Copies of this chain bind each other. A is one copy, B any other.
Amino acid sequence: MTVTLADVAARAQVSPATVSRVLNGNYPVAASTRERVLKAVDELDYVLNGPASSLAAATSDLVGILVNDIADPFFGIMASAIQSEIGGPGGRAGGERLAVVCNTGGSPERELTYLTLLQRQRAAAVVLTGGAVEDAPHAAAVAAKLRKLTEAGTRVVLCGRPPAPDTGAVAIAFDNRGGGQRLSEHLIGLGHRRLGYIAGPEERTTTRHRLEGHRAALAAAGISEDPGWTVHGPYDRTSGYEATLELLRRDPSLTAVVAANDSVALGACAALRESGLRIPDDVSVAGFDDLPFSMDAVPALTTVRLPLADAGARAGRIAMGREEPPPGGIATVRGELMVRGSSGGPRRAASA
């Protein structure tokens, strides 16, 4: 069968306790003994039994990272940054932790199930990324879970996600509202008065905040919004493509399209181009997030850069207890407006 601690102990002629202590390095062991043990470990090719260890020590070295869509670089970039700080293997020394990312696919149930699974594994920490679903019962369920986790000693950090009051979770939130507002202000400043908005899926904090920012900008400029100017859809390219076609159908006189994120914006660009409209001469386009590919669009996308990697790294450090949580357990980081080629002044007169 598989090699156990006892086998190693026998081979090294010491007690299992000593082997355990050598392996954990948390108790004085004579150098000669240690060597003998290490040699035995090596010769036997011994691998610690994780579950047994976790059970006995009542702790585990698992750290969970929840993402909405692992195929989306938005989450990939954050996850990567978080994981690099978790130390995973290869990180700094000290407890080797197994940083794992779990893909919820944006589904509330899966989110909850993963949380339970992590709770089962007695995870050392959990980082939740991205917007939350705003369904009240679900939010309550998640909050309850988070509270239970923190009470059990699991460190919980929200990254790019609004704070969850009274759960003990630390939050690094993005200022989606402010970013959305500045973005639309930019467009309005350019002279646009008829702006279409392709929002994310409904019932999501991110969607709502960005849209609120947009509307605040419109309101501040005294522009009254036509309800038909807003379309909801998933955060992907296809959604942007279709939504744009729909927007154009509803009001061909739009001079700008603001998208919920960069992928959506790319889809919008494609739709616009296929409709024979030039960007930004006929219609300006704006995205959000500033993912790497955004600067490769032609023209390059005007968007709001979110410090995904920085925020992720910080969240990771906090999760590892290597950085002080922000005061109040809440930090909000701003996005930076990136003005590029896809936005310009409206040139054409409104057409029928």
Contact = CB atoms under 8 A, between A and B. Distances in A.
Interface of A: 2, 45, 47-55, 60-61, 64, 69-73, 75-77, 79-80, 83-84, 88-90, 96, 98-103, 105, 107, 109-110, 112-114, 116-122, 148, 152, 236-237, 263, 266-267, 269-270, 273, 292-293, 295-298
Contacts of A80: 69-71, 103, 105
A64 B52 CA distance: 19
B122 A110 contact: no
Contacts of A269: 296
Contacts of A69: 80
A50 B89 contact: no
A90 B107 contact: yes
Main secondary structure of the interface of A (DSSP, over half): helix
A114 to B, nearest CB: 6
Contacts of A89: 109-110, 112-114, 116-117
A271 to B, nearest CB: 11
Number of this chain's copies in the assembly equals 2
Find the residue from A71, A102, A267 having the highest chain B CB count within 10 A.
A71
Given A71-B76, A73-B73, A100-B102, A47 B107 contact: no
Contacts of A110: 88-90
B76 A90 contact: no
A344 to B, nearest CB: 17
Given A71-B73, A88-B110, 8 more contacts: A47-B120, A50-B122, A51-B122, A70-B70, A79-B103, A88-B103, A266-B296, A296-B297
A114 B61 CA distance: 12
A114 B296 CA distance: 34
A49 B237 contact: no
A70 B2 contact: no
Nearest to A273: B298
B70 A98 contact: no
Contacts of A60: 50-51
A302 B314 CA distance: 39
